[in-house]
Each structure stands twice: as C-alpha cells, then as structure tokens.
C-alpha cells in the first residue's frame, strides 16, 4: 500500500508520518511507500519502507501528479492555509484551500483507482457559537473564510466520492491540543499556548475569558482517527462523507485545572488573560460542543482525559519543542 501525506511537513502530517513509520503497516497491510509533500520538502524520518519527501504547491497539478503517483492507495489531504491566515489573506486561502483541493480531486481522479482520501475539515466550518451542541446533521454556516473553504472542500470530495473518482472521509477536526512548537496563525493557537508555554516556563496571555468553551482533541486520538478513516468501510457513510469525531468540550478554566493538576500552581500562574478582539471574533462563532454519535457508531475512538493530554505533550513533544525554540 502506497500512501501520500499532503501537508506532510506540518504538525499533524509529521505525527501521522511517524506513526506510519513506526507501524510499517496500515489496516494490516504492509506500507510499500510513503510520500511526504509540503511547500518545502519535509525533513526525512527513519522508516521501514521507501520514503519520498517532496516540495511543491498543492495547487500545482504537476507537483501533485508527482506526489500522488499511480498505485497510491491512500491520500491524507492535510495541506491548508489555516484560520487566521485565510482570514487575513483571502486570495491565499482560496488558492490553497479551494484550488488546492480541486487539484487533489483531479490528481486522485486521474489515477482511475479510486484512492481513499482522508481530508481534514474543521470545527471552524460550523457556526452556532459557544452555546451550540451541534447535532450530527447540523448545518455548516461558516463564520470565517477558512471554515467556508473547508465546507466547500468537503462538498467537492463528497461528490467526487459519489461519482466514484475517489473515496473520501472528511473529518471535521476539533482544535488539536497540545500543539508543539511556536504559536501559529490559527485563531485557536491560544488553546495549545496556555498549556505549552507554561510547560516551557514561559508566560502567555489567553485572549478569551476562562469560561470560554472549546471543542478539542489530542494529537494521539487525531492520528487514531486518521488511521481509522483510512481503513474503515465507507459503505455505511452513504452519500454523507462528513464526520464529526468525538472530541471533548472544555472551558479554558478546565484546561488550566488540568495543567495545574499535572504541572502545579507555578505553571498555572504563568497564564494571564488579555482579551484579543480579532481572535475572539473568529473563535466565538465556533461551536463549543458536538453530539458526535454517528462517529462513535462508526468506530472513531474517544479522547483521553484532559490531564492525559497535558502529559502526552510532556512525553511526546516537550523536549523537541524546547530544542526547537532554543530553550
């Protein structure tokens, strides 16, 4: 089985690549090759199968044809311009998130072998805000361009699945935390920052109040979801290729409690509050909670408790993040 990860140099792309390299198999079948594709060629990682690391633009059909060669069985389409960046630069968001996804569709269609496509949509494709508990048939009324572009990407890949060009599973990811590295251009960057920065010994300001609720998941369960989406039987999905996976609803206050439980009061006290209207205006539209019954029925696994999310970051990413940031 040959696999491609588009956006393979990013946070989740690298986590997934490491897991595939560790397993050497997907769904019980040996992996015969992995292609990591990103704007800049991703750094190689040790793997028990041939690895290709390619640089290119996902909106460039020629680059994509190289990234998705004949024989590709699974494409993870993670390449994206994220929320605040797509809001700040509409044209860039359209290019990567719309024209990029159109190019992915055509590259997969050109194979003629109906590859599985796992597409990372987002909670940001929903509106409804803090009060919402989004039902499984909840409607996507995006409050930002990134969310609109993700909803459009889903519709494109869903219809292409119906046509038999490919076989898509569109996972609407919660905010994945704890994200290693530096604060990024996602409007939800603070959700990770309020855990990560204190664990690095740094102070940080939370741009939303303590009672603000976010729909979150861990990188570990995200990777589990990716593997499940890549190998599940898609027949029970019918026309509806969108998955609201079982994340967890947590207030900022609860996240800080978990931080304190794992790392003590000193860590907790590194987080201040400084309201940021620009960030707030984007994230306030995102639903605080989802029903996620269908995804559970379809076998998507649950989250660990909050404290485990904090511990997982310490185990998996703290040292690398320190090194990366020269701390």
Ligand X SMILES: NC(=O)c1ccc[n+]([C@@H]2O[C@H](COP(=O)([O-])OP(=O)(O)OC[C@H]3O[C@@H](n4cnc5c(N)ncnc54)[C@H](O)[C@@H]3O)[C@@H](O)[C@H]2O)c1
Instruction: Choose among ligand X, its own copies, none what residue 137 binds, the Cβ cut-off being 5 to 8 Å by kind.
Output: its own copies
Binding site for ligand X (CB under 6 A): 7, 9-13, 38-39, 57-59, 78-82, 96, 100, 120, 122, 173, 175-176, 188
d(CA 94, CA 136): 27
Q: Which two tokens stand for residue 307?
A: 């404290």
Catalytic residue, candidates 76, 126, 146, 190: 146
**In the block, residue with structure tokens 């024989």:** 71
163's CB contacts (< 8 A; 6+ apart) are none
Minimal distance, residue 19 CB to its own copies, in Å = 32
Minimal distance, residue 312 CB to ligand X, in Å = 15
| For its own copies, the closer CB: 74 or 94 | 94
**In the block, residue with structure tokens 């089985």:** 1
Q: How many residues are recorded in the chain?
A: 327
| For its own copies, the closer CB: 141 or 202 | 141
d(CA 77, CA 92): 17
Binding-residue pattern over the window 254 to 293 for its own copies, x denoting contact by CB under 8 A: ----------------------------------------
Q: Which of 72, 122, 145, 221 binds its own copies (CB under 8 A)?
A: 145
Is 90 one of the annotated active-site residues of the chain? no
d(CA 63, CA 66): 5
Q: Which of 22, 163, 182, 297 binds its own copies (CB under 8 A)?
A: 163
The answer to whether 104 contacts its own copies (rule: CB under 8 A) is no
Q: How many residues lie near its own copies (CB under 8 A)?
A: 24
d(CA 82, CA 91): 13
| For its own copies, the closer CB: 72 or 161 | 161
Give CA torsion, residues 55, 61, 62, 68, to 10 deg: 70
Give CA torsion, residues 297, 301, 303, 309, to 10 deg: -170
Q: Which two tokens stand for residue 75?
A: 């494409």
Q: How many CB atoms lie within 10 A of CB 173?
A: 23
Contact residues for its own copies (CB under 8 A)? 90, 98, 102, 127, 137-143, 145, 148-149, 151-152, 155-156, 158-159, 162-163, 239-240
User: Which residues participate in catalysis according to the annotation?
Assistant: 146
């Amino acid at each position: 089985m040959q696999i491609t990860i588009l956006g393979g140099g990013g946070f989740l792309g690298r986590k997934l690549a490491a897991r595939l390299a560790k397993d050497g198999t997907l769904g019980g079948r040996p992996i015969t090759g992995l292609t990591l594709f990103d704007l800049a060629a991703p750094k190689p990682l040790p793997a028990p199968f041939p690895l290709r690391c390619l640089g290119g633009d996902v909106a460039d059909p020629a680059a994509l044809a190289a990234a998705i060669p004949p024989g590709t069985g699974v494409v993870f389409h993670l390449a994206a311009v994220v929320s605040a960046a797509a809001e700040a630069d509409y044209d860039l968001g359209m290019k990567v998130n719309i024209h990029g996804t159109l190019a992915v569709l055509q590259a997969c269609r050109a194979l003629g072998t109906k590859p599985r496509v796992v597409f990372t949509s987002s909670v940001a494709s929903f509106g409804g805000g803090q009060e919402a508990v989004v039902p499984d048939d909840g409607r996507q009324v995006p409050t930002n361009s990134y969310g609109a572009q993700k909803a459009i990407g889903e519709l494109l890949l869903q219809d292409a699945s119906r046509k038999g060009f490919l076989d898509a599973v569109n996972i609407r990811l919660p905010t994945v935390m704890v994200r290693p590295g530096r604060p990024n251009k996602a409007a939800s960057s603070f959700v990770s920052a309020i855990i990560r920065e204190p664990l690095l010994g740094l102070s940080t300001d939370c741009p939303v109040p303590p009672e603000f609720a976010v729909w979150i998941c861990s990188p570990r369960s995200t990777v589990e979801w990716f593997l499940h989406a890549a190998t599940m039987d898609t027949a029970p999905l019918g026309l509806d290729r969108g998955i609201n996976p079982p994340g967890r609803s947590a207030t900022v206050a609860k996240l800080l409690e978990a931080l304190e439980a794992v790392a003590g009061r000193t860590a907790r006290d590194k987080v201040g509050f400084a309201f940021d209207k620009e960030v707030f205006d984007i994230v306030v539209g995102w639903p605080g909670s989802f029903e996620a019954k269908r995804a559970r029925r379809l076998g998507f696994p649950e989250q660990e408790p909050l404290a485990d999310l904090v511990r997982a970051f310490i185990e998996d990413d703290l040292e690398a993040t320190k090194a990366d940031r020269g701390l």
